[in-house]
Chains A and B, each alone.
Chain A
Amino acid sequence: MSQRLIARRLVAAAALMALTLVVAACGSSGPGGGGGSTSGDGGGRVAVWALQDVQQQKFENPAVEAFNASGAGQASLSLFPGTGQTYLDKLRVAMGSSNAPDVFFNWGGGSIKRYADARQLKDLGAFLKANPDVNDAFLPSVLDAGKIDGTAYGVPMRGMQPVLLFYNTDVLRSVGAQPPKTWDDVQALIPKLKDKGVVPFSVAGQDPWTELMWLEYLTDRIGGRQPFLNLLAGKPGAWKDPAITKALTTIDQMIKQGAFGTNFGSVGYGSGAASQLFSRGKAAMMLMGTWEYTNQLQRDPQFAKSGLGWTTFPSVPGGTGDPAAVVGNPTNFFSVNAKAGSGAADFLKQMVTPEYVKNLISVGDVPAVKGIETELKAGPNPRFSTQVYELVQKAPTFTLSWDQAVDPQQATEMITNLQRLFAGQIDPAGFQSAMEQAAA
């Protein structure tokens, strides 16, 4: 090999190495570059983590700007694309490392319980006491949902997302029916719709959390909130509660009746198939969180404006649950890392400013804040948001979605076994014994 060739190769190798180093350096300052500021330096820098969401940025960015302009500290927002699960995975890895966020978006309940148990979260009790304007601004039932064993670990940062029974007004009109108010109405409606060749209820078997909503509401209507509280507390035999047994057999009966159609096992929610089935009139009703309204507004604005109706979950005759009680996601929360500086909690004051509430309403959210009827009426979806607001205000209880409330491991078991029940692989008793085994 000639000297010149060697020299040229050396230069090439050096250039390649330099390039690699530059790339590596860039890589290390990617998302979370604002992280690692958990040094406890007074106000200082605050790393805020949230799920990337076009709507969400419209109120998060102004909040960060307002906080920074107030001089209370220097916040930086890191947004993570993907689904809720990928965000949780990322958060999990970060919380176990030195690159953890100071303030982070979460779903409350089971999504943060392990951090609370590991003493990685700041107890916000003192903060709320010192800032009554923050504490008193929120609807108590929603603020309570952010508590774990009575300790506040989160401040609501998004709208309320109770689960509603959505219906396609054209389809119901075509069979001359009203939206169901009681379970007898539901029973009468199923054969009518089936005769018309319409699937009574759209459910996404590929995304079994959509199936869970049926179990949550039926249990609540049949036996009130206690059966769920027993599950949450991990009481032995909680899954064999008579209310849960009845809810499961009701679901089983509905599956066999064809209340969900026959091919729901191949239908996904994330892909939009379940929502499309409903908006196109191939299905009459759909049990879903309030986000379905925004979803339809984006996918099929015509349908959302003129063909979409909503009501509360029907009451069940003989059930002890209050028909006004709601189930779903009370809201999303911002929690604070225990190692974060004092300025981090101050960031949470932004969540009650009129500006923030206004921005929330403008993207279609229904904030969990007291006394905002006028603002909601002036917002983009006055009819929908006012009704949701009233619904939650009147609700005696707001039960957090079971898969968010219980331990993640139990949630996985619950979702998997429920999917097996819907797919006809196990019967209600099989579901119950599988869950009892998993909880033991």
Chain B
Amino acid sequence: VSATVVDRTDRPGPLWVVPAVAFFAAFAIVPMGLVVYLSLTDWDGLGSPSFSGLDNWTRLFHDSQMLDSLKLTAILVAGSWALQTPISLLLGVWAAGTQRSRAVVVAVLFLPVLLSTAAIALLWQTLLDPNFGLAGSLGPLIGIDDGNIIGTSRGAMICLALVISWQFVPFHTLLYQAGARQIPGMLYDAAIIDGANRVQQLRRITIPLLRNTIVTSSVLMIVGSMTLFETVLILTGGGPGTATAVLPFEMYNQGFHAYQMGYASAIAVGLVVIATALSLVLVKVSGFGKMRSTIEGV
């Protein structure tokens, strides 16, 4: 009897995690270990890898292209975060209303999430053609008369950030919508009595209480755009020149164009380390780990 008192929630035993752990080990831990090993070898994909010690790593830290790629990745991550967060937060809060018309709009808005990344990239490539696509008509409106938007260094990066946002804003909107619906209506009632207007309600109630959602969504955005590959490959191919050669693309380039699997593996390990570190820092700094509940009375 005492046991049921102590463990009221009747949590499942450790056996329940075995399938998940086995899967994670087989498809994440083991490959990651192999990549770490490969990063210490010289291998062109044929024959067997030969051990080369820290050569790839020394090269990684002295490669000026890597520094460029790191900068480009940082720009893309920061740009797509800064673009997506306000849009999806506002849209999500708006969509949290229970009006039927909003539900319809949200359903339509959600469509890009259902499309494959490759399809989206191909679609945008056609739209961005200056002679037959939309770029020819939109370009003059933003001061680019010949519609050469994706063909310039800055334009290509902006296009990437916009396409990523177009694809993922709906998903994050969904997160914010769910988050906003968890906020007790009572708080807004009290605010209205105190004379707060809509903007004040948003600033003083909604955003502070969406804190956990903001952290979750930001981690997903940051890690997602840091490892973004397909869109870059199809839309810009890392170009013009190396203007959009972000780290994951550079990894593919080194692995499958230059056939330097060892060096590509070193880049991969670097990406894993940076992405993990960033998300850990984000969770720590934001106090997300403390998991303070924002639900009424809990």
Contact = CB atoms under 8 A, between A and B. Distances in A.
- Same assembly: yes
Interface of A: 85, 88-89, 92-93, 95-96, 114-115, 118, 120, 205-208, 261-268, 271, 273, 276-277, 282, 408-409, 411-412, 416-417, 419-420, 422-423, 425-426
Contact of A419 (B44, B129, B240, B260): B240
B183 to A, nearest CB: 36
A265 B148 contact: yes
Given A92-B259, A118-B46, A420 B240 contact: yes
Contact of B239 (A273, A411, A419): A419
A268 B133 CA distance: 12
Complex A-B, nearest 9 residue pairs according to Cβ-Cβ distance, in ascending order: A265-B151, A420-B241, A263-B148, A409-B258, A266-B151, A423-B240, A263-B130, A263-B146, A412-B257
A16 B257 CA distance: 40
A417 B257 CA distance: 15
Contacts of A266: 128-130, 135, 147-151
Contacts of A282: 131
A414 to B, nearest CB: 11
A273 B258 contact: no
Chain A interface, >50% SS class = helix
Interface string B32-46: 000000000000111
B131 A425 contact: no
Contact of B45 (A96, A276, A277): A96
Given A89-B256, A273-B132, A282-B131, A262 B241 contact: no
A95 B45 CA distance: 8
Contacts of B125: 206, 268, 271
B137 interface: no
Contact of A92 (B129, B149, B239, B256): B256
B255 to A, nearest CB: 9
A248 to B, nearest CB: 15
B126 A262 contact: no
A102 B47 CA distance: 17
Give the size category of B's interface with A: 35 or more
Nearest to B159: A266
Nearest to A411: B257
A425 B242 CA distance: 10
Most chain A beta-carbon neighbours within 10 Å: one of B45, B132, B237, B239: B239
A117 to B, nearest CB: 9
B253 interface: yes
B200 interface: no
A99 B244 CA distance: 35
A95 B47 CA distance: 9
Given A273-B131, A277-B131, A425-B240, A114 B46 contact: yes
B52 interface: no
A118 B131 CA distance: 46
Interface of B: 44-47, 122, 125-126, 128-133, 135, 146-153, 236-243, 253, 256-260
Contacts of B253: 412
Nearest to B237: A206
B258 A423 contact: no
B131 A206 contact: no
A267 B146 contact: no
Contact of B240 (A89, A205, A262): A205
B9 to A, nearest CB: 16
A55 B78 CA distance: 46
A85 B238 CA distance: 15
A409 B257 CA distance: 6
A276 B136 CA distance: 15
22 contacts: A92-B256, A92-B259, A95-B45, A95-B46, A96-B47, A114-B44, A205-B151, A206-B236, A206-B239, A264-B148, A265-B148, A265-B150, A266-B135, A267-B130, A268-B129, A273-B129, A277-B131, A412-B257, A416-B238, A416-B241, A423-B152, A426-B241
Contacts of A267: 129-131, 151
Contacts of B243: 423, 425
Contact of A265 (B47, B152, B242, B258): B152
A263 B240 CA distance: 12
A262 B241 CA distance: 17
A27 to B, nearest CB: 14
A311 to B, nearest CB: 24
A423 B131 contact: no
B295 to A, nearest CB: 29
B257 A271 contact: no
A92 B45 contact: yes
B218 to A, nearest CB: 32
Given A206-B236, A263-B146, A273-B131, 4 more contacts: A262-B146, A268-B129, A423-B239, A423-B240
Contact of A208 (B126, B239, B258): B239
B151 A206 contact: yes
A265 B147 CA distance: 10
A116 B242 CA distance: 31
A260 B152 CA distance: 15
Contact of A271 (B129, B152, B241): B129
A329 B243 CA distance: 29
Contacts of A426: 241
A282 B125 CA distance: 20
Nearest to B48: A96
Contacts of A423: 151-153, 239-241, 243
Contacts of B131: 263, 267, 273, 276-277, 282
Nearest to B47: A118
A273 B148 CA distance: 13
A411 B152 CA distance: 22
B46 to A, nearest CB: 5
